[in-house]
Structure 1
Amino acid sequence: MPSSASAAHSGPLPLLDNEVLRTFVAIAERGSFTRAARQVSRTPSALSMQIKQLEETLGHKLFVREARQVRLTPEGEVLLGYARRLLKLNEEAVTRFLAPPVEGTVRFGTPDDQGSRILPEVLAQFARTHPAVQVDVVVGGSVEMQRQLEAGELDLILMTAGTPGQTADQGEVVHSEPLVWAGRDGGVAAWRSPLPVALASQGWPWRGRALAALDHAGIAYHIAYTSEHWAGQEAAMLADIAVAPFPVSLVKLPLRQVPREVGLPDLGDYHVVLVRREGAGEASEALAGQVIRAFREQRP
């Protein structure tokens, strides 16, 4: 049975143009017609005309124009999800048929927090666009993966910026977000003194940053829980035996950010970098591009 929208529309439904969708996504991500125009190499007035035609086609206003920026309407937010999926599907189809075949094996290292965030989607899409490439995944700590990369045992790794031994120019920043103090919602660990903290093992950047911040703020603490993986820190928080420094995107109920009135120090942002082994090959570069796009598409 046809939907009310399709029934009300006489004749075939209009098709959405990929170039217009690309323009729409660029404006949504940049929050500005001017910044988006620079990205797509067109004038702001040309972009404005495209969006006007798109709004007329769909019968809905997509952006609210403000003094210094534009923001999506509720209908625009819905379209953004569709637009990203349509552009991705178009890219997959074109790559599958027109790109030269890429073969080989890529050895990819990722920490467990980033692996759980993007890995399933990345591997599924990469398998569709590069069926002749085998991807071997290693999940581990940044320090060990860096050693394996330098030894030629891995081709591509994700790691946290600031890992001991990492040079300043090593890797490309692909993701940034606030690092916050987190604990169990309604828990009491954050109010205890000395403060019980759950930390990663020695050498993880979060550990040094958290301890330095507590020392600088003069807050008494003790390390109540140590784990190689973020899941261990999460378990300690869920049991309400400790609080922990955690990426804000991973703080989900029954966890919550520690209330500001507790007075814990700010931890700033943390950055994820993608590091390539020199000469790793075409297959590795193809997967690197897929990883970068996956992080970019997570941005609001």
Structure 2
Amino acid sequence: MASTHSPNSPQGLPLLDIEVLRTFVAIAETGSFTRAAQQVFRTPSAVSMQIKRLEEMLGRALFVREPRQVHLTPEGETMLGYARQLLELNDEAVGQFLSPQVGGTVRLGAPDDLGTRVLPGVLSQFSRNYPAVQVNVRVGRSPDLMRRLDIGELDVVLMIAEAGQRPHARAEAIYREPLVWAGREGGVALQRTPLPLAVADRGCAWRQMALSSLNRSGLRYRIAYTCEHTGAQEAAVLQDIAITPFPRSLVKSPIRMIEEEEGGLSALGDYEVLLLRMPARGAAVEALVQHIIDHFAGQTTAAAAAPAESTA
């Protein structure tokens, strides 16, 4: 926690807590207490308490709280610059003493859904903790990534599968989340017949889960928008061209979650993030694997503790 010593106390000016600053920066960058909580592996209520104490210590409001997001006050903008400098200096200093013994190159493969939305933030933190480790990332289709793992071209692979499915003997589930139907707020795509869908190309677990659910329910549908990236699916939904299967954590306004049984739709079930690694690849690989596992464990904890947005 941030120190509460008075500036006039014998201890001098209060000291800023690095972990509180990390939380502060995460909120500023995401515009959300809930999403920031996922990044720093804390509950939204703990994050709110950290910021409340920081604001009390500084005697300034750092955020303006609104129903769907938060944004910085002018004093918060000033604090953000200092916070980023302090965090960078802290990570550099700690890294010089704790991480030099771990070095080398790790070849990591991931599908687009993870490679564009999740990995950049995960790898940014990893590089600060392990500056001597170089991570080379390949984003591609899961079958190709598994083939490259088997022939030794990759050390670690992340992939997405329907919960309980194991497409590879070495697959380890590290995260589980509901897949939900998503559509545009106020949109009419859900009312069209046949139902227009935006899905990824063949081989995508989310596509297969969606089509299996529709076939079970007997609904007529057509694939109106086929793409390789979730960003394209999201764009199709935003334009009300179609509905799409989406991870619950990615559903943000103006996209909404379509409730079960709405429009005759049935639940899609859960998907899992699987991790595969080549055995005995060294300390650098193990360090990255543990970092990734810790990240997803933090997401699971935050999601379980915070079913709704908290900006208090």
Give the TM-score, by structure 2 length.
0.66
Give the TM-score, by structure 1 length.
0.69
Q: What is the rounded CA distance, in whole Å, between the counterparts of 1:242 and 1:197 in structure 2?
A: 5
**Structure 1 residue 245 displacement after superposition:** 0.6
Query: Following superposition of structure 1 onto structure 2, how do residues 109-188 of structure 1 map, counting pairs within 5 Å?
Result: 109-162=109-162, 166-167=167-168, 169-188=169-188
Does structure 1 retain, via aligned residues, the 8 Å contact 2:219–2:264?
no
Does structure 2 retain, via aligned residues, the 8 Å contact 1:200–1:227?
yes
Where do 5+ consecutive residues of structure 2 fail to align?
20-42, 54-88, 303-312
Which residue of the partner structure matches residue 253 of structure 1?
A: 253
Query: Following superposition of structure 1 onto structure 2, how do residues 1-300 of structure 1 map, counting pairs within 5 Å?
Result: 6-7=5-6, 10-12=9-11, 74=45, 77-79=48-50, 96-98=96-98, 101-162=101-162, 166-167=167-168, 169-260=169-260, 261-298=262-299, 299-300=301-302
For the structure 1 residues 122 and 92, does the alpha-carbon distance in structure 2 shift closer, same or farther, using more than 3 Å as the test?
A: farther
Identity of aligned residues (%): 50
Q: What is the rounded CA distance, in whole Å, between the counterparts of 1:80 and 1:153 in structure 2?
A: 45
**Structure 1 residue 94 displacement after superposition:** 6.2
For the structure 1 residues 249 and 94, does the alpha-carbon distance in structure 2 shift closer, same or farther, using more than 3 Å as the test?
A: same
- Please say which of residues 155-164 and 184-193 is displaced more in the overlay: 155-164
Paired residue secondary structure (2:118) = helix
Where do 5+ consecutive residues of structure 1 fail to align?
22-71, 83-88
Q: CA RMSD in A?
A: 3.6
Which residue of the partner structure matches residue 46 of structure 1?
A: none
Q: What is the rounded CA distance, in whole Å, between the counterparts of 1:236 and 1:276 in structure 2?
A: 35
Does structure 2 retain, via aligned residues, the 8 Å contact 1:118–1:295?
no
Which amino acid in 2 is paired with 1:208?
Q
**Structure 1 residue 240 displacement after superposition:** 1.0
Q: What is the rounded CA distance, in whole Å, between the counterparts of 1:216 and 1:238 in structure 2?
A: 27
Paired residue secondary structure (2:127) = helix
Paired residue secondary structure (2:128) = helix
Q: What is the rounded CA distance, in whole Å, between the counterparts of 2:51 and 2:175 in structure 1?
A: 20
For the structure 1 residues 76 and 199, does the alpha-carbon distance in structure 2 shift closer, same or farther, using more than 3 Å as the test?
A: closer
**Structure 1 residue 128 displacement after superposition:** 2.1
Which residue of the partner structure matches residue 54 of structure 1?
A: none
Q: What is the rounded CA distance, in whole Å, between the counterparts of 2:157 and 2:5 in structure 1?
A: 47
**CA deviation profile, 1:196-243 (whole Å, cap 9, x unmatched):** 111111111111111111111111111111111111211211121111
For the structure 1 residues 104 and 254, does the alpha-carbon distance in structure 2 shift closer, same or farther, using more than 3 Å as the test?
A: same
For the structure 1 residues 172 and 91, does the alpha-carbon distance in structure 2 shift closer, same or farther, using more than 3 Å as the test?
A: farther
Does structure 2 retain, via aligned residues, the 8 Å contact 1:101–1:130?
no
- Please say which of residues 210-219 and 5-14 is displaced more in the overlay: 5-14
**CA deviation profile, 1:100-159 (whole Å, cap 9, x unmatched):** 612221111122222334322322222222222211111122222112211211111110
